[in-house]
Structure 1
């Protein structure tokens, strides 16, 4: 209990220190860097995962290949990928983005695919009977009904990216991981604990945002479907 209280006190002292809120090493600047890496990675992953998930889910073609590729991507160690790409491409934001995109695509891809394929066949048949084209069925019937799982995939990917974007600090880049890496190198555990606390807080904010988004845009009758992970 004493250790926990001491850690809480360290975090409080670190967060309330004025020097943590100014300059290139301050929380606002590091948070902006972290959000930049995370946002770009999630954007690219969303474009890739949604496009292939919707296509394969709607047509049913390539389902095995998509599942195999997604599961393989999940097994790739993010830090190892960062080091590999840094070695090949040099020090830049590219290694971080590649690694984070590879991490974020699988949950988006798989949940989008499963959401579309899980749509009630009767709903599809009814839509086709009304004269809807294939694209209309996808956009007006399948996507709305698959939305709970699609949002779940996006939420999982976003939280994973925010938490894992700390690897950006290892090859010498910025972000909130800079606090952890620099703290470990200096044996400054106040810096390590404080930086970790900010990362956790950011992940919780992301979780809250997606929870609010689900409540706002998903029909109440479809929300139980989002419990699938």
Structure 2
């Protein structure tokens, strides 16, 4: 008997001693789908993002290149990396250096870039949470954990209400990163410190 089997055996013995059944059926009566319309979902999502101190921009597909260019200029970004699966035409107006990320490169080099740009897979309006999956559209996990500024493109049709809907749209085979605002912690004397576990500046560009 290995350690795992021994632990499970002790749990089963304890359950029997307490008169509990061998198998407990988890309740599944939670809310699985939201009832908000598209406009209400968007309003809730933006409100939650701003509560988390993320910056939010609303734009269209046609205006995405000019919106990104304006953001990068305002933030004085000269050197950016973007997820390798993104269409580089969205950077047509950018006068700095926009380079697709090389997943095989040393992730420590990402610390020196001014910003990274990725897309997202799905987002929850209820919690203001954005989900990235390791892959061409969202990049490797290091791409959005090492740099100090993350610009994330969220397509409006990828915003759902709650977590059950989020999980149903995810690929369980891909590593995922769940983002709720800029990286922050209040572990030390309840003083908020940003940028400890990831970017201190999150800019969400919602594309309709």
TM-score norm. by structure 2 comes to 0.24
TM-score norm. by structure 1 comes to 0.23
Which protein has the bigger helix share?
A: 1
